[in-house]
Amino acid sequence: MPVSISTKCCYSLSHRSRHSLFSDLTLDSLWKQYKKLERKFGFSGQQPGQFERGHAIPEQQQERPGLQSHLHPHPIETELPTEDGRLAQYKASGKLTACNALITGGDSGIGRSIAILFAREGSNVGIVYLPQEQEDAQATKEIIERDSGRGTELYAGDVKDANFAKTCVDSFARKYGCIDILVNNAAYQNLVGEIENLDIDQWDLTFKTNIYSYFYFAKFAVPHMHRGGSIINMTSVHAYQGGPSFLDYSSTKGAIVTFTRALSNQLIGRGIRVNAIAPGPIWTPLIAATIPKDKIPSFGHSAPMQRPGQPSEVAAPAVFLASNDSSYISGSVLHPNGGTITNS
């Protein structure tokens, strides 16, 4: 605790208040008292933390597809906020013991956080990523193997290629015997303000990445899945809001919602659940590679919580949907979006 802050804090209190404040000299109690006073008197002078209202990310820009290792601040992958303003590590409880999960776009951002949390819960994981993202993919593999010791397979290639998708699925299923969980998470987005300026090639690229690949991986994974399996598709708040600068992206995310519901109806009799997650503004490499750098500091402030979300805040709901905790849920969409109301 900085001296200047603690001094200012103490001088602003009466002798009786100071006695009450320091009567229980444990680190935990002092921290809680400090955070309570900080909220009450606003004396911190520090920028809001990543889970705090008003958090502003510094200006930055990356080339596509973006690398997590180059982001500042680093997205939070495994921690969640506590009521006293601190961070607590996600607590695993064996919810996915002996499961096998294949995750597209699992090298960074939301996908990396999902991969790490799934592994903590006991699942082996397969990570699908672009060759340009090898650095992030290798880092994710090392984190998982150091953190939980679970098996981690890496598959570099283009999810738009149906043959590559089949190769990934078959290889992973052959390695571990079956696929229990499929997470369709890979995505492409690019800002274009007017429909006249939206290239047909970009339209095709966005659809082939964001919806064709979901079809490919689900089609090839289902034969390797058994009763109790779970498919999780990553859609977006843009599916409901229709972001004007994300016409192609929003369209694919709307398609993913319908794809999820239809596939759920198709597979529910086989005991395979299909759900989706529609994140709001989450701090990932995709953002730094898409949004103009002068817009980065205000990223996420349009959400009612007035801050960007973190990958861990999407990964925790993914664990819920992958596990038996959600055994009576299928064809549904979860909305970790900072409080934005959607009609789902």
Burial code (b: 16+ CB inside 10 Å, e: under 16) for 254-270 equals bbbbebbbebbeebeee
Phi-psi region of 332 (alpha: psi -120 to 50; beta: other; left: phi over 0): beta
Q: Which two tokens stand for residue 51?
A: 């889970």
216 is known as an active-site residue: no
What angle is formed at CA 166 by the lines to CA 160 and CA 169, rounded to 5 degrees? 110
Distance (Å, whole) CA 214 – CA 207? 10
Non-local (6+) Cβ contacts of 221 within 8 A are 102, 169, 173, 179, 182, 231
The sign one gets for the Cα dihedral 338, 305, 295, 241 is positive
Helix axes 312-322, 109-120, angle to 10 degrees: 50
Q: Which of 129, 188, 240, 249 is catalytic?
A: 249
The H helix count followed by the E strand count for the chain is 12, 9
Give CA–CA dist 77/315, Å, rounded: 8
Q: Encode 177-191 in three state secondary structure.
A: CCCCEEEECCCCCCC
Q: Write the single-letter amino acid at 6.
A: S
Strands (E) located in 217-335: 230-234, 273-277, 333-334
Catalytic positions: 249
